[in-house]
Amino acid sequence: MTALALVAGAVVALVVFWPNTAPEEQQPPSNVAAPIEKAPKPVRLKTPDKRDALVVITHFLYTAVARKHVDRSWNLVAPEFRAGFTRKQWATQDIPVIPFPVQSARWRLEYSDERGVGFSVALFPTKESHQRAQVFLVGLHTIGAVKQRHWVVDDWQTAPSQGLQMVSGPGAGGGGILEQTSAKVNAGGKSSESAAWLLLPLGLLSLVIIIPLMIGGVNWYRGYRADRALLRS
């Protein structure tokens, strides 16, 4: 046993104290700074550009998101968004876009920089869907030549919990209402509802003004005739 212990101790000492003859890999010091990705430069979103972006978002909501005439959303999304899909496959509704039964929507601009823009969009569901309102984040950037430059959607995802303040009501917090409130869209992506409905509020307003004027005019004329009759008598 003593001899065995001596042999084991010799082996341990050999392993511990035997010099490492393998060449050490040394990295020479470098003066080259590690590349740091710069944050995109903020860019003011001009009113016409914002309007055009919101039009694309509106059409995207009432086609791809609401799953109504999904084929019409093909040109609304960025090529990388629909990568791996043919136009025919995209029209099958099995697309990488979270669906929602949209009845109406509100928007709020979140950022605008040299790469694109981002909006928070609060979606309010149709009554028959029995779902709760929900907030999504949508990103867009422009593609095409100068004269044919247009916005396309490159991102669509659910918003973090702090975005839920937008859904406390159709008139609560946010940049504005997306005017289209119907899933009925035609080939051009525009609402198929008649524009004649826009004249109804104007007609009611005009009646509120005209009717009192007519009543006042009739009363004045009756008073005038009564005064003339008294003078003649």
Has residue 166 been placed in a domain? yes
Express each pLDDT in 101-115 by its tens digit: 999 999 999 999 999
Express each pLDDT in 6-38 by its tens digit: 555 554 454 445 555 555 556 666 666 666 778
Query: For residue 160, what pLDDT is reported?
Result: 83
Has residue 135 been placed in a domain? yes
Express each pLDDT in 32-51 by its tens digit: 666 677 888 999 999 999 99
How much is the mean pLDDT over the chain? 75
Has residue 183 been placed in a domain? yes
Q: Which domain holds residue 82?
A: 47-194
Q: Structurally, how many domains does the chain consist of? A: 1
Residues 57 and 153 sit within 8 Å (Cβ to Cβ): yes
Has residue 67 been placed in a domain? yes
Q: Residue 141: which of 114, 165, 103, 178 has the closest Cα? A: 114
Q: Residue 55: which of 206, 178, 198, 195 has the closest Cα? A: 178
Q: Is the pLDDT at 138 greater than 50, yes or no?
A: yes
Has residue 6 been placed in a domain? no
d(CA 217, CA 225): 12
Has residue 173 been placed in a domain? yes
Query: For residue 210, what pLDDT is reported?
Result: 62
d(CA 118, CA 101): 22
Q: Is the pLDDT at 87 greater than 60, yes or no?
A: yes
Percent of the chain whose pLDDT exceeds 70 = 55
Express each pLDDT in 166-204 by its tens digit: 555 444 445 677 754 433 433 333 333 333 433 445 455
